[in-house]
Amino acid sequence: MMTQVSACNASLQFPCPHRTSSFPKQRFSRRQLFVDGVSSLCIRSESAPNGNNSSSNHVGSPQSSSPSFFRSGNEGDMNEVIRKKVAFATRRTLLSSLFIYYSWYHPSRYLSAYALGDSSVTVEQVTPAVLPSGPLFPTEERIAQLFEKNTYSVVNIFDVTLRPQLNVTGVVEIPEGNGSGVVWDKQGHIVTNYHVIGNSLSRNPSPGQVVARVNILASDGVQKNFEGKLVGADRAKDLAVLKVEAPEELLKPVSVGQSSSLKVGQQCLAIGNPFGFDHTLTVGVLSGLNRDIFSQTGVTIGGGIQTDAAINPGNSGGPLLDSRGNLIGINTAIFTQTGTSAGVGFAIPSATVTKIVPQLIQLGKVIRVGLNLVAAPDPVANQLNVRNGALILQIPGNSSASKAGLQPTTRGFAGNIILGDIIIAVDEKPE
């Protein structure tokens, strides 16, 4: 069975030739669309409902009481598709309207959504049982206790020269001067990274000057805000010490552990304030030891601890703890190409921290005593047949080693290597 659809011209002056009745002459605009009883749409079917071919059965004619668009001899009359007679100016708009009409209203293509309910059931019958959480596993309980204990020893630090700003979307932008720190003692000394307050330190503040705002968590869960005054800073090790005038009962010093006995694979925990969030915990393992840390201050720190515990901006200056809750490092850097944690974080070992921080508290700076020379690495010394001691490679001109008369390794006129002095002992202790 075939169905033909035809439309009259855009400008009508005579009745449609396919109508069974004539109508007064009308002239319509090309852009005008109308929906009324007198339509310029002409739809005819080549087969009558009874199966006889007829061209006089017109959908939309006055004689048709139930117009239809599709007919099937096997299934009977199809559902009514077009309920009103629509006249369009062009054949293109006619076909487009039929497509939209068919997509929107045909029951096989679109079904309305209805709110269904079942009054035979109660809310209690469709509410699942909520099971109690029960006790934590021993490992979970231990980690939770370590976090609850040490979270009071971790503070939030803001560089006073960098303020959080509210952007147009309503999101608070936390500047890079946001970081973490640890309570060192009951006197109010706070240890953090040099680069956390680096913007303030770049202005060469004097000791005792306020360079940061320090938030300390009280036992009631409220953050107490204090002024952080500069005590001392060491750019070479990316460490700084602040002091706050806080009540002694509010200060919970961190327990310091030994980093010299660490093993790769042992568990560690990092606590801090990443992205300005309040006290978060990440757990991982020690991935490596004696790593070179390329700090944000532009210096290289030796002997670093590598961990896969997630460390993000804001964790800097926070503690890296062992499974007993002792401080084994100060989180200071991450290796990433996106600015977020990639599972490669670094911490300054506690052995370095315990050497630098007491000097900063006592003197406000670090005094390093050394010969100021460059020794040959072991592989180079072995190639030069130096098995014992430290072979001197380079000595700066005005260094104490040069003044002491030590000689570096040089090359002769023929390009041969002339070995420098070899240090075999310091204070009668073998090197």
Rounded distance between C-alpha atoms, residue 141 and residue 135, angstroms: 8
The two structure tokens encoding residue 218: 């009280």
What phi and psi values does residue 276 have, to the nearest 5 degrees?
85, 0
Rounded distance between C-alpha atoms, residue 216 and residue 225, angstroms: 6
What are the residues facing 233 on neighbouring strands? 240
DSSP string, 10-35: SS-SS--TT-SS--------TT--EE
Amino acid at 362: Q
The secondary structure of the chain in percent helix, strand, coil, rounded to multiples of 5, reads: 15, 30, 55
Question: What secondary structure letter does DSSP report for 63?
Answer: T
Is the CB of residue 31 less than 8 Å from the CB of residue 89?
yes
> How many CB atoms within 10 Å of residue 15?
17
> How many CB atoms within 10 Å of residue 392?
21
The two structure tokens encoding residue 15: 């009745």
Question: What secondary structure letter does DSSP report for 155?
Answer: E
Q: Which residues contact 149 (CB under 8 A, 6 or more apart)?
A: 325
Residues forming the active site: 195, 238, 316
Integer-rounded Cα radius of gyration of the chain = 42
DSSP string, 356-391: HHHHHHHHSS--------EEPPHHHHHHTT--SSEE
Rounded distance between C-alpha atoms, residue 250 and residue 241, angstroms: 18
